Amino acid sequence: MISINENFLKLQAGYLFPEIARRVNLYSSANADAAKSLIRCGIGDVTEPLPLTAREAFKAGVDELGSSETFRGYGPEQGYDFLREAIAEHAYAGVEVSADEVFVSDGSKCDTSNILDIFGHDNKIGITDPVYPVYVDTNVMAGHTGDADESGSYEGLYYLECNKDNGFVPSIPDEALDIIYLCYPNNPTGAVATREQLEAWVAYALKHKAILLYDAAYEAFIQDDSVPHSIYEIEGARDCAIEFRSFSKNGGFTGVRCAYTIVPKTLTAKTSAGEEVTLHSLWQRRQSTKFNGVSYPVQKAAAALFTPEGKAEIGALIANYMENAQLLSDACKAVGLTVYGGENAPYVWIACPEGLDSWGAFDLFLEKAQVVITPGSGFGKGGEGYFRISAFNSRSNVEEVCKRITNLFN
Amino acid sequence: MISINENFLKLQAGYLFPEIARRVNLYSSANADAAKSLIRCGIGDVTEPLPLTAREAFKAGVDELGSSETFRGYGPEQGYDFLREAIAEHAYAGVEVSADEVFVSDGSKCDTSNILDIFGHDNKIGITDPVYPVYVDTNVMAGHTGDADESGSYEGLYYLECNKDNGFVPSIPDEALDIIYLCYPNNPTGAVATREQLEAWVAYALKHKAILLYDAAYEAFIQDDSVPHSIYEIEGARDCAIEFRSFSKNGGFTGVRCAYTIVPKTLTAKTSAGEEVTLHSLWQRRQSTKFNGVSYPVQKAAAALFTPEGKAEIGALIANYMENAQLLSDACKAVGLTVYGGENAPYVWIACPEGLDSWGAFDLFLEKAQVVITPGSGFGKGGEGYFRISAFNSRSNVEEVCKRITNLFN
């Protein structure tokens, strides 16, 4: 008789976005007219057109597949050299990352999930609170946790508290963790980690022979020159960190699907018998066995983002979204709300109005302003008392949301 | 201190294709002139251009991403309805499969690997011998086996012998297995399973509450009307089978990446506490958490394959490759070799010439005919004494290979 992976049953039933949908539907059916003007600022999905440079390269890639002379079948599982080289050269200019340390994939969500395949089941896992839920759920599915308590926290995970006092960057823990997920610029708080904070994390990881899983999916939004874009800007990180990046948020690739993961060849771990193994060889084997590479035309499109024209288009996209963030942030501050994030990230993280918790703020915005926000408590109990507004929206929607915020609190 | 997944260390070091590459390189450097005429018939990768219908839809999809009005970001993780509906309607015409039982993905290699996520670690796993190595390696990585013996067989897996006497379709085992991988038309043997054989497997699975993982990636190559294309043509299969299909081999999508997996909603398993769970809900949760959907333009391209024009183009591609298979098969038979497969599959499976084992035949073809074949023993010890020639090649290469076979044995 078949047995299933019963760890799946420990998962909270994807409560955040379904619960948002449930409340929105309930409101909409009771208030059909008002609901027509609903503006969604919940999900972190890009809205602006795919850059022309990428589209042209994309279509040229498709055309290549149309002729026997230029047809390409299975590509290398780790990505084509032209893209791996472009990433090493441009995304890591001035940082030590070589092309064969770049693993191209179809998404950072997949990579941050699949990376667990190469690790043992007895590691102590540290995650921030609040957190991007995928890090938690994939550990639950892999059997690394017990059950969740009423706040949604899982037994067996080490929650690293992020709050306004530490600028939403966790303090270095006293205990020795083995795998620590860090995401900066952060989803959902929009916080960034300073060089000094990252240096402390690298020192901690080296001391404890731990691994930092560094999610830099939003690095392109950093405006402050002093903030590191890559963990590898920190000395020693090549011996303790894996970095995840994506074309989703800078190149508008959420529907196109292309990302990459850096596994330095210098990153090693010891087996129980004391044998030293490179994580690069493990990930290479994992990807070769369980993955078949990214669509060729998609890789052509991604590589085009590194041309001067592509870089200019990305620059314009980022500037546009960051102007949105500024408008949203200003509107919230003007009505007396306390605002975090939004300066180096496309997420504005806002303390709830006095007397309201996260879902209370959600209901207020939905019912009184017809704006859908994301309740902070959906990202973990550390998010309670906050809500997130995404800057990924059209300018006209953002301006309308700003107006409604002004009206809501006046 | 970090611990790694030490099961990876049990893996044979990807011995088949690296060993082929090693021997080809050795031969080429010692015989530079002769090596210039080398023809590779090893890997099962398509060679003909992507159908025009698919390319046009592909590029139209890219164009849609270029305008705010038609831009699409994150899509549904399970695939867009337009593609899921087209698959249910066309790929499963006359068979009970609904659109919401179709999970679109970026490849069958990924799906047949990732499906293990939803199962427990205590299932008895049955695989055929010879076998597509991914089924084995992913079970090794998941910790479902002990070490390999000198023949490459892993302790803890149940090998179902396939040989000329059973037509390369395994007999029903006496013991109760929980998960059985079946692949028909088969890679590497090119064999197909008859309706009666599949009925026996479904009856076995129902009796033991086992799951059949049915890989039908090559179903489009079936020429014999009596051979089932889908396991769901067998009564009862909706209660015991998951089916994997792909656009790789029919639509020439190996470099484009699109596949799909059918998980019937009627397929259930019991938890250790006796609770009934649908595998559909587990797979839905797995894909939603660890995957972010297939590139939108790729899904458009895949859907176009179901138009009348697309179907005609696929028909022409299949006919072409099957003519290749016929030519290769005829050439081998004409020189007295015993040939299997190649009638309903793009793989010709050939008994080694007297006195040679699989690698002996490989060396003979390489050194005397400058043709790269795949030694059967690379697919498991049951493949010893055979070699595979792939029909995925240009017609001119196939004709040249046929000539060389004729010369080699005359």
Residues A22-43: what's their mean pLDDT? Answer: 93
Q: What fold characterizes domain B53-306?
A: Aspartate Aminotransferase; domain 2 (3.40.640)
Q: What is the pLDDT of residues A64-73, one digit of tens each?
A: 999 999 999 9
Residues of B in contact with A59 (CB under 8 A): 59, 62-63
Which among A6, A209, A252 has the least Cβ separation from residue B2?
A: A209
Q: For residue B365, what are the contacts with CB-CB under 8 A and spacing of at least 6?
A: B371, B372, B373, B387, B408
- What is the number of CB-based contacts under 8 A between chain A and chain B? 261
Whole-number pLDDT of residue A13: 66
CA distances from A240 to A236, A352, A400, B3 (A): 7, 37, 45, 13
Whole-number pLDDT of residue A85: 98
How close A334 comes to chain B (CA, Å)? 30
Whole-number pLDDT of residue B14: 61
Q: What fold characterizes domain A8-49+310-408?
A: Aspartate Aminotransferase, domain 1 (3.90.1150)
Cβ <8 Å between B50 and A71? yes
Interface test with B, best of A15, A147, A207, A257 (most B CBs within 10 A): A257
Residues of B in contact with A75 (CB under 8 A): 255
pLDDT band at B43 (very low <50, low <70, confident <90, very high): confident
Distance CA A191, CA A339 (A): 11
Q: What is the pLDDT of residues A369-405, one digit of tens each?
A: 999 999 999 999 999 999 999 999 999 999 999 999 9
Q: Are A289 and B114 in contact (CB under 8 A)?
A: no
Characterize the bridge pairing of strands B386-390 and B125-129. Answer: unpaired
Q: Which residue has the tokens 């046929």?
A: B402
Distance CA B27, CA B362 (A): 12
How close B356 comes to chain A (CA, Å)? 30
Q: Take residue A79 and report the two structure tokens written for it.
A: 């990505």
Instruction: Locate the chain A residue with the closest alpha carbon to B75.
Output: A255
Chain B contact present for A74, CB below 8 A: yes
Q: What is the pLDDT of residues A213-251, one digit of tens each?
A: 999 999 999 999 999 999 999 999 999 999 999 999 999
Residues of B in contact with A305 (CB under 8 A): none
How close A410 comes to chain B (CA, Å)? 33
Q: Tell whether the model's pLDDT for residue A15 goes beyond 90.
A: no
Report the percentage of chain B scoring pLDDT > 90: 96
Strand partners, A350: A339, A387
CATH 3.40.50.300 fits A53-307, yes or no: no
Q: What is the pLDDT of residues B148-159, one digit of tens each?
A: 998 889 999 999
Report the percentage of chain B scoring pLDDT > 70: 99
Q: Tell whether the model's pLDDT for residue B13 goes beyond 80.
A: no
Please provide the average confidence, as pLDDT, over all residues in chain B.
96
Go through chain A and tell me how many residues it has. 410
Distance CA B410, CA B408 (A): 6
Chain A contact present for B320, CB below 8 A: no
Cβ <8 Å between A8 and B282? yes
Instruction: Locate the chain B residue with the closest alpha carbon to A272.
Output: B3
Residues of A in contact with B139 (CB under 8 A): none
Cβ <8 Å between A279 and B65? no
Residues of A in contact with B255 (CB under 8 A): 65, 71-75, 293, 295-296
Q: Tell whether the model's pLDDT for residue A17 goes beyond 90.
A: no
Q: What is the pLDDT of residues A56-105, one digit of tens each?
A: 999 999 999 999 999 999 999 999 999 999 999 999 999 999 999 999 99
Chain B contact present for A5, CB below 8 A: yes
Residues of B in contact with A287 (CB under 8 A): none
Q: What is the pLDDT of residues B257-296, one digit of tens each?
A: 999 999 999 999 999 999 999 999 999 999 999 999 999 9
Residues of B in contact with A297 (CB under 8 A): 58, 62, 256, 297
Lowest model confidence (mean pLDDT) among A177-181, A283-287, B17-21, B282-286: B17-21
Where do the structural domains in chain A lie, given as residue ranges? 8-49+310-408, 53-307
Distance CA B140, CA B155 (A): 10
Residues of B in contact with A123 (CB under 8 A): 2-3
Chain B contact present for A396, CB below 8 A: no
Q: Tell whether the model's pLDDT for residue A14 goes beyond 70.
A: no
ipTM above 0.90, yes or no: yes
Residues B44-67: what's their mean pLDDT? Answer: 97
Q: Tell whether the model's pLDDT for residue B60 goes beyond 90.
A: yes
Whole-number pLDDT of residue A19: 86
Distance CA B221, CA B357 (A): 29
pLDDT band at B406 (very low <50, low <70, confident <90, very high): very high
Q: Tell whether the model's pLDDT for residue B306 goes beyond 80.
A: yes
Cβ <8 Å between B113 and A290? yes
* Cis preceding-peptide flag for A188 (omega within 30 of 0): yes
Residues of A in contact with B2 (CB under 8 A): 119-120, 123, 178-179, 209-211, 269
Partner B, chain A 115-134, Cβ-Cβ below 8 Å: 117-120, 122-123, 134
CATH 3.90.1150.10 fits B11-49+310-408, yes or no: yes
Cβ <8 Å between A255 and B138? no
Q: What is the pLDDT of residues A301-358, one digit of tens each?
A: 999 999 999 999 999 999 999 999 999 999 999 999 999 999 999 999 999 999 999 9
Q: Dihedrals φ, ψ of A253, to 5°?
A: -95, 15
